[in-house]
Copies of this chain bind each other. A is one copy, B any other.
Amino acid sequence: MGTTQRMARFIAEAKFEDIPAPAVNLAKLCLLDAVGCALYGTTRPLGKIITGVVEELGGKPVSRVLGTRIETNAVNAAMANGTLGHSEDFDDFAAGHQAVLLMPVVLALGEEQRASGKQALLSYIVGFDITTNVTHAMGEDHYGKGWHNTSSIGTLGSTAAAAKMLGLDEMQTRMAIGIGASQAAGLRGNFGTMTKPFHPGNACRAAVMAAKMAEKGYEASPDIMEHRFGYAAVYGEQMMSLANCTRHLGHPWALMGSGREVANGIRIKIWPCCGGTHGANTAITHLLKKHPVKAEEVERVDIVTTQEPSCMAPNLRWPKSGLQGKFSSWFTVASIIVDGGKLDLSSFTDEAAARPAVQDMLKRVSIVQDPEHAGRPHRARGGSHWLDLTVTLKNGERLVAARIEANNARGDTYGWETKEAVFDKFKLLAGAVLKPSQVDAALNAIMDLDKAKDVRAVVDSVIPPR
């Protein structure tokens, strides 16, 4: 049996009863977090544009754009909600940004299909497993070359979730994977622009289309993963392991963390910026807690890391906009110093980014790759990864942060995700669109999703009154 068939069989055969309760609980938490991010996204310039386009396009009103009164077809709703959810880069990450690849698909198709909450959660968890395992199997050259793995790989996970939502059989699912694979895209060159958030939106759109087409009998290669001119050949950069795409599917469930690097549990973000900046953010935040120095005392900040600076964050040395700042460790470290340890949504407005104090501090931050790790142009799997940060004060004093040891420099955001903290984050984000009483009702509705007879009840809870 080939890789594509194995994947399809896993997707088609998965049952809610197979899923351990902690995974269901975690999926609800991730979904909640992504819904909060999408709600907040409607208030942002890029959110207004994408919802404006979707409103103009129209479509049978069977699914809704979260946080708005827009009713449209499931394809457009999934596209809009995926884009909105990623607008601040504040959504969770684990083998790419998973929640914004899955939440939009299961809510849009859930509404259309009047599916149960259990069906939505099962589809979410199955899609998570596919993305995680394919990412693990991919090899490093993929991201290193310039692919935005969240969409270029995640399209397959979104497609898995969509296929499961429509209850496709094994062969239909193989077709859906084939159609989905021919739409996988997303360039890291668009990081720091509005088009990065569009990537998961586009993946969700592609997935819903693929599943709908397959449901109606549209055909693709049944073996697109392993085909000589297929997914592994084209996206895998000759380093992809087909065996690893399926070896661990459901054993263990990737959502629970598996001990493997890319499935090391989900990071629900505390900072609204690229995960690549979180290692440096952690180092400087800890240092400032110990040594609460003021910006004007700082002569320079030196970061030495195993990774090439452009891979910690995509090469945005001199960000001009807040959106660009989200992808620049230089910028996040500078902001944290200027704002005395704080880094939140207000740090990434264009006005905040343009502050002379931040722009001045940017010049004082240096990031260099440890010479012994040079020639490994992107994050490499395995081995030790670390980040050292030193602050030199104008008085000559040198303050050295504790070394950040982390895969992918994610710092100590591990374990941050208590349920209550995620609830608070949701309340902050949803509160930008909904009244406090509705925020609480929405939170309860999402956390009760496994008991919901119809996914529409959850979406109802986050639609603002006229």
How far is it, in angstroms, between the C-alpha of A125 and the C-alpha of B186 when the chains are bound? Answer: 27
Q: Are A233 and B50 in contact (CB under 8 A)?
A: no
Task: Determine how close the nearest CB of chain B comes to the CB of A365; give it in whole angstroms.
Answer: 20
Inside 8 A of A422's CB, which chain B residues have their CB? none
How far is it, in angstroms, between the C-alpha of A100 and the C-alpha of B219 when the chains are bound? Answer: 20
Asked if A188 CB lies within 8 Å of chain B CBs, one says yes
Asked if A252 CB lies within 8 Å of chain B CBs, one says no
Question: In the complex, what residue of chain B is closest to A226 when comparing beta carbons?
Answer: B189
Task: Determine how close the nearest CB of chain B comes to the CB of A347; give it in whole angstroms.
Answer: 20
Size of the chain A interface, CB-CB below 8 angstroms: 60
Inside 8 A of A183's CB, which chain B residues have their CB? 183, 185, 202
Indicate which residue in B178, B190, B209, B234 contacts A53 across the interface (CB closer than 8 Å).
Answer: B209
Task: List which A168-203 residues lie within 8 A (CB) of chain B.
Answer: 178-179, 181-195, 198-199, 202
Interface centre among A50, A53, A188, A190, by most chain B C-beta atoms within 10 angstroms, is A190
Q: 1/0 per position for A197-217, CB-CB distance to B under 8 A?
A: 011001000000100110011
Q: Are B58 and A73 in contact (CB under 8 A)?
A: yes
A310-B228 CB under 8 A given contacts A57-B59, A190-B178: yes
Q: Are A213 and B182 in contact (CB under 8 A)?
A: no
Task: List which A211-243 residues lie within 8 A (CB) of chain B.
Answer: 212-213, 216-221, 223-224, 227-231, 233-234
Q: Are A231 and B189 in contact (CB under 8 A)?
A: yes
Task: Determine how close the nearest CB of chain B comes to the CB of A363; give it in whole angstroms.
Answer: 22
Q: Are A145 and B56 in contact (CB under 8 A)?
A: no
A182-B191 CB under 8 A given contacts A56-B60, A57-B60, A218-B46: no
Interface centre among A75, A189, A190, A195, by most chain B C-beta atoms within 10 angstroms, is A189
A195-B220 CB under 8 A given contacts A147-B234, A233-B145: yes
Task: Determine how close the nearest CB of chain B comes to the CB of A171; give it in whole angstroms.
Answer: 13
How far is it, in angstroms, between the C-alpha of A75 and the C-alpha of B234 when the chains are bound? Answer: 27
Asked if A402 CB lies within 8 Å of chain B CBs, one says no
Q: Are B229 and A314 in contact (CB under 8 A)?
A: yes
Asked if A359 CB lies within 8 Å of chain B CBs, one says no
A187-B198 CB under 8 A given contacts A73-B58, A193-B220, A220-B193: no
Inside 8 A of A60's CB, which chain B residues have their CB? 56-58
How far is it, in angstroms, between the C-alpha of A306 and the C-alpha of B192 when the chains are bound? Answer: 46
Asked if A52 CB lies within 8 Å of chain B CBs, one says yes
Asked if A22 CB lies within 8 Å of chain B CBs, one says no
Asked if A431 CB lies within 8 Å of chain B CBs, one says no
Q: Are A218 and B231 in contact (CB under 8 A)?
A: no
Task: List which A279-306 residues lie within 8 A (CB) of chain B.
Answer: none
Asked if A146 CB lies within 8 Å of chain B CBs, one says yes
Asked if A259 CB lies within 8 Å of chain B CBs, one says no
Inside 8 A of A233's CB, which chain B residues have their CB? 145-146, 189
How far is it, in angstroms, between the C-alpha of A233 and the C-alpha of B378 when the chains are bound? Answer: 14
Task: Determine how close the nearest CB of chain B comes to the CB of A144; give it in whole angstroms.
Answer: 9
Asked if A366 CB lies within 8 Å of chain B CBs, one says no
Asked if A421 CB lies within 8 Å of chain B CBs, one says no
How far is it, in angstroms, between the C-alpha of A396 and the C-alpha of B89 when the chains are bound? Answer: 72
Asked if A45 CB lies within 8 Å of chain B CBs, one says yes
Task: List which A139-186 residues lie within 8 A (CB) of chain B.
Answer: 145-148, 151, 178-179, 181-186
Asked if A441 CB lies within 8 Å of chain B CBs, one says no
Inside 8 A of A59's CB, which chain B residues have their CB? 57-59, 73
Asked if A264 CB lies within 8 Å of chain B CBs, one says no
Q: Are B53 and A187 in contact (CB under 8 A)?
A: no
Q: 1/0 per position for A255-297, CB-CB distance to B under 8 A?
A: 0000000000000000000000000000000000000000000
Asked if A315 CB lies within 8 Å of chain B CBs, one says yes
Can you list 8 residue pairs at the A/B interface with Cβ under 8 Å?
A46-B219, A52-B216, A145-B233, A151-B182, A182-B199, A187-B229, A187-B234, A189-B228
What 13 new A-B contacts, CB under 8 Å, besides A50-B213, A189-B228, A194-B220? A46-B218, A50-B218, A53-B209, A145-B229, A146-B233, A147-B234, A181-B187, A182-B198, A189-B227, A189-B234, A193-B219, A193-B220, A195-B218
Closest 9 pairs (CB-CB, A-B)? A146-B229, A189-B227, A189-B230, A58-B60, A188-B229, A195-B220, A146-B234, A189-B229, A57-B73
